[in-house]
């Protein structure tokens, strides 16, 4: 099965960048150890007026691998209480044009 790409734009409230970064770190630590994880890249906006100050991208071997990781107790514990404060819009994608 083809690899899938997670893209997750974060609407970081003013003054919450450090908190959002720490949240990302905790989640990424779990993801990196999960079966099917390939790589991750966290993008930070160069300009403060970008709607999404952080956008996470990660590559996974399959939808099933990603879902198993997100639904794991380890991941839920790692990000508990943080995600609600940072609106985010995750989706799984495939590249259709280059």
Q: Which of 3, 5, 26, 61 binds a second copy (CB under 8 A)?
A: 5
H or E segment to which residue 22 belongs: helix 17-32
Residues 27-86 close enough to bind a second copy by CB under 8 A: 28, 39-47, 50-52, 55, 63
Residues for the chain: how many in total? 98
* Residue 85: closest CA among 6, 5, 14: 14
As to burial, measured by CB atoms within 10 angstroms (0-12 exposed, 13-18 middle, 19+ buried), residue 25 is: exposed
* 24: contact with a second copy by CB under 8 A: yes
* Residue 57 C-beta: closest distance to a second copy, Å: 8
* 15: contact with a second copy by CB under 8 A: no
Q: Which residues bind a second copy (CB under 8 A)?
A: 4-5, 7, 9, 21, 24-25, 28, 39-47, 50-52, 55, 63, 89-98
């Amino acid at each position: 099965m083809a690899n899938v790409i997670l893209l997750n734009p974060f609407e970081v409230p003013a003054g919450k960048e450090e908190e959002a970064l720490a949240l990302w770190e905790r989640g990424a630590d779990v993801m990196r150890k999960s079966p099917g994880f390939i790589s991750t890249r966290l993008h930070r906006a160069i300009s403060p007026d970008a709607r999404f100050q952080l956008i996470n991208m990660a590559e996974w071997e399959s939808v099933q691998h990603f879902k198993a990781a997100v639904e794991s107790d380890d991941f839920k514990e790692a990000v508990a209480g943080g995600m609600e404060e940072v609106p985010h819009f995750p989706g799984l994608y495939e590249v259709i044009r280059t």
